[in-house]
A and B are shown apart, each in its own frame.
Chain A
Amino acid sequence: MMRASSTKSKGTRELSLIPNYTILSLFLLFAIGPLLVLLFNSLKNRAELGNNPLGIPTSITWDNYPRAWDVGNFSTTTLNSAILVAGTVAAVLLLGGMAAYSLAKLDLPGGNGLMLYLLVASSLPIHLFLVPLFFFWRQLGLVNNLFGLILIYIAVNAPLAIFLLRSYMVQLPRDFEDAARVDGASEWQVFTKVVVPLSWPGFLTVGLVVSLAVWNEFLLATVFLTDQSKFTVVTSYYNFTTQFSRDWTLTSAAAVMMIAPILVIFLIFQRQFIEGMTQGGMKG
């Protein structure tokens, strides 16, 4: 990289950043290039893909999309994934929010112990509890059952949600709650009418991060949902790519259909996503 001199006009300062932009362009090509190839391949017919597997399509065909939608059984799998996401997010926000409220505002006796437990629980390998959990769930009839998997997702996402929501609620001034309590509000009312409305950005962040985690989740979905009618978009895509591994037009179109909604929502809420995911990473 170039040596920075202490006396610089604005022009030379811009000039000294040329190496930065060069490196960034290479990184950009590395990160986004493969996604462009995916998009291109989804718009080619099979003959063209054979001749030109990496480049821009010479003629555009949209046929791959409806075909992938049908063959990939997207109408069922999208619904399954949506149920998993909605169920998990609703429960994690409600139950995790309650727990966070108790930790942040009710001086939960033994609160530090609970935080420690959540920290340990969140760092236990899934593969440690996966095996007994699977056979236990099967006895209870919760395998191949969306509700059964939602329960697991709630448990797995609980620590992150509680930590993030708690750190959000701790910052809220106590005046509002105390005012409500003096007016005779119960703790439940203080929670739902005062604390939740004041900390909704925290709930939004957690909701987005948990939605993405559940939508993208592979290991648990593949273990607990083995029946084709219960497949999520992710496990169905996995199955689909082993079946149609040589038809890249089809697998690319299916991939674009799965990625597009993620990217749109990510770009709209990028600030919340990045904040939530980096804080989640930092807190284990």
Chain B
Amino acid sequence: MGKPMTMEKSMSTERLHDARASWRKGAFFRKKVLPWLFVAPILLINITVVLGPALSAGYYSLTDWSGIGAANFIGLDNFRRILLEDSSYKSAFVNNLIWLGLFLTVPIAMALVGASVISPIRRGALFFRLALFVPYVLPSVIVANLWRTLLDPDRGIMGWLTDQGVPGTDIALLGRQNTVLPTIAFIDNWHWWGFLMVLFLAGMQNISRDLYEAARLDGANRWEEFRDVTIPGIRPVLVFMVLMTAIWSFLTFDYIWILTQGGPAGASEVLSVLVYKNAFQAFQAGYASAIGLTMSFFVGIIISIFIVLRRRGWEI
């Protein structure tokens, strides 16, 4: 910036004018163009992979596209089919809601308990934090298969319980329509809750010790401490993770696909499974795009609820 200015005095008016013009041109390049050159490569890749196909999914959702060849425009027919004809869509949507209910309660409760029992201890705190986090770094295929063997009705934990004479354990949890979805949620949660716990723990460690002292002087017991000090103290993390859980519950795929592919008889089908099956097995890419669009719609609704509540003055 300084260079052209210091040279000014030794220049003739004409040359000064030129220098100023080229400096201005340089400034335009340096301030407006160059920063975008640094951003351009990764932005172009992201637009090609994410934005472009996402927008074209909007168009294909209005067609009968098979994935190969031409796509005929059929208006809102795919959405009519979703709303009125496709019973598998309804049951998949209900399964997403069940999944949402399970994940808004079980892992959050487990993580809150875990974090609040680790938080006050000194000895072994790091060890426990690490050990409980370990399942989160494992690949889904390994976790899924490990638990498939552990829950095997003949040889796994269930088989062992049956051998011990525990009644009602002689069942294939993943093979029955009424147990399959909670069982997959249990397996997914085994890998997930430790991550949540570490987030909550980080939040709890930022709460001032003085607040707990004050609560104790007021005669609060541990439950009251937890309710009145801990929960408000980690509220930002808690609310954010409730939001993310709600979003992810509509997108869940890996564990269900790996363990049952939506079976038995569609009992564990969720929307993402329908997208996959319609696109890559039934070759109804247009219809699959329409389902994918409805998934984004639900995510959009959740984010909007969050924003509206925040505007209304909820401290979230």
Query: Measuring CB to CB, which residues of chain A are less than 8 angstroms from any residue of chain B?
Result: 1-4, 6, 17, 19-21, 23-24, 27-28, 30-32, 34-35, 37-38, 41, 49-50, 53-54, 92, 95-96, 98-99, 101-103, 106-109, 111, 114, 118, 121, 123-136, 151-152, 154-156, 158-159, 162, 182, 187, 191, 212, 215-216, 218-219, 223, 234-235, 237-238, 241, 248, 251-252, 255, 258-259, 262-263, 266-267, 270, 273-274, 277-278, 281-282, 284
Q: Which residues of B contact A38 (CB under 8 A)?
A: 146
Of the stretches B127-135, B171-179, B308-316, the one at the interface is B127-135
Identify the closest chain B residue to A92 (Cβ): B42
Instruction: Give B20-47 as 1s and 0s: 1 = Cβ < 8 Å from A's Cβ atoms.
Output: 0000000000111011101101110110
Q: Tell me whether A123 and B299 are in contact (CB under 8 A).
A: yes
Chain B CB within 10 Å, residue with most, of A123, A132, A238, A270: A132
Query: Measuring CB to CB, which residues of chain B are less than 8 angstroms from any residue of chain A?
Result: 2, 30-32, 34-36, 38-39, 41-43, 45-46, 48-54, 56-57, 60, 67-68, 110, 113-114, 117-118, 120-121, 124, 128, 130-142, 145-150, 152, 155-157, 159-160, 190, 194-195, 198-199, 202, 216-217, 221-223, 225, 237, 240-241, 244, 247, 250-251, 253-254, 257-258, 271-272, 275-276, 279-280, 285, 288-289, 291-293, 295-296, 299, 303
**22 A-B pairs (CB sep. < 8 Å):** A19-B117, A20-B117, A28-B132, A53-B149, A54-B156, A98-B42, A99-B39, A121-B46, A124-B50, A125-B272, A126-B251, A127-B276, A127-B295, A129-B53, A131-B292, A135-B285, A155-B46, A216-B137, A216-B138, A238-B258, A266-B134, A278-B202
A-B pairs with lowest CB-CB distance, top 10? A155-B49, A102-B38, A129-B53, A95-B42, A216-B139, A106-B35, A132-B53, A133-B53, A108-B35, A53-B155
Q: Which residues of B contact A99 (CB under 8 A)?
A: 38-39, 42-43
| The one of B38, B51, B258 that contacts A218, using a Cβ cutoff of 8 Å | B258
Q: Tell me whether A32 and B67 are in contact (CB under 8 A).
A: no
Q: Tell me whether B114 and A248 are in contact (CB under 8 A).
A: no
C-alpha gap A252/B148 in the complex (Å)? 12
Q: Which residues of A contact B285 (CB under 8 A)?
A: 131-132, 135
Q: How far is the CB of A261 from chain B (nearest CB, A)?
A: 11
| The one of A19, A32, A126, A255 that contacts B142, using a Cβ cutoff of 8 Å | A255
C-alpha gap A259/B143 in the complex (Å)? 10
C-alpha gap A53/B146 in the complex (Å)? 12
Q: Tell me whether A121 and B131 are in contact (CB under 8 A).
A: no
Q: Which residues of B contact A263 (CB under 8 A)?
A: 134, 137
**Known A17-B121, A158-B45; contact A129-B145, beta-carbon cutoff 8 A:** no
Q: Which residues of A contact B137 (CB under 8 A)?
A: 212, 216, 262-263, 266, 273
| The one of B36, B45, B138, B202 that contacts A151, using a Cβ cutoff of 8 Å | B45
**Known A27-B114, A127-B251, A255-B145; contact A218-B50, beta-carbon cutoff 8 A:** no
C-alpha gap A99/B194 in the complex (Å)? 32
Q: Tell me whether B114 and A155 are in contact (CB under 8 A).
A: no
Q: Tell me whether A4 and B222 are in contact (CB under 8 A).
A: yes
**Known A158-B45, A216-B139; contact A131-B258, beta-carbon cutoff 8 A:** no
Chain B CB within 10 Å, residue with most, of A30, A31, A95, A125: A125
Identify the closest chain B residue to A25 (Cβ): B128
Q: Tell me whether A277 and B195 are in contact (CB under 8 A).
A: yes
Q: Tell me whether B145 and A251 are in contact (CB under 8 A).
A: yes
Q: Tell me whether A2 and B222 are in contact (CB under 8 A).
A: yes
Q: Tell me whether B120 and A32 are in contact (CB under 8 A).
A: no
Q: How far is the CB of A27 from chain B (nearest CB, A)?
A: 6
Q: Tell me whether B244 and A134 are in contact (CB under 8 A).
A: no
Q: Tell me whether A50 and B128 are in contact (CB under 8 A).
A: no
Q: Which residues of A contact B31 (CB under 8 A)?
A: 107, 109
Q: Tell me whether B139 and A215 are in contact (CB under 8 A).
A: yes
**Known A21-B121, A27-B132, A32-B131; contact A95-B253, beta-carbon cutoff 8 A:** no
C-alpha gap A164/B241 in the complex (Å)? 19
Q: Tell me whether B42 and A241 are in contact (CB under 8 A).
A: no
C-alpha gap A17/B128 in the complex (Å)? 14
Q: How far is the CB of B9 from chain A (nearest CB, A)?
A: 20
| The one of B121, B157, B289 that contacts A132, using a Cβ cutoff of 8 Å | B289
